[in-house]
Amino acid sequence: MPCVGTSPGLRIPVVTHPNMKNNHWTSLKAARKREAAFTELFDLLSAHNVPGLLRLLSTAKNEGWGTNKTTQKSQLAIEGKYHARNYTEFDRDLGAAQLSMR
């Protein structure tokens, strides 16, 4: 095992692989990628009226969707191709009230 040095004050060998990337740049690249995904999602949500947005975001949280999947589902909802189905009791009551007014 190649030993590059010791950690400060502990005398534990620090082993590095010659092909290992610098973690600072990898982390920065990943953070910029996540920021771009969040910006795309927020731009989409702020520019359009997304039907069932609260239900969509609730589903995204409960199902553990990432930013990209949430963006895709939001775009489908805008196009009328996705309908979130996790209705709350308030949604059901509101629907019943609307039906009774007809």
Check whether 24 has a pLDDT greater than 70: no
What pLDDT shows up at residue 1? 45
Q: Is residue 43 part of a domain?
A: yes
Identify the band that residue 64 occupies on the pLDDT scale cut at 50, 70 and 90.
Answer: very high
pTM greater than the 0.85 cutoff: no
Q: Is residue 93 part of a domain?
A: yes
Check whether 91 has a pLDDT greater than 80: no
- Where does residue 72 rank: exposed (0-12), middle (13-18), buried (19+ CB within 10 A)? middle
Task: Give whole-number Cα distances, 78 to 14, 37, 49, 101, in Å.
Answer: 52, 18, 7, 28
Q: Is residue 69 part of a domain?
A: yes
**Structural tokens at position 14:** 């620090």
Q: Structurally, how many domains does the chain consist of? A: 1
Q: Is residue 7 part of a domain?
A: no
Q: Is residue 79 part of a domain?
A: yes
Q: Is residue 10 part of a domain?
A: no
Q: Is residue 6 part of a domain?
A: no
Identify the band that residue 13 occupies on the pLDDT scale cut at 50, 70 and 90.
Answer: low
Q: Is residue 58 part of a domain?
A: yes
Mean pLDDT of 85-102: 80
Q: Which domain holds residue 46?
A: 21-100
Give me the helices (H) in 48-66, please: 53-63
Among residues 94, 95, 91, 54, the alpha carbon closest in space to that of 74 is found at: 54
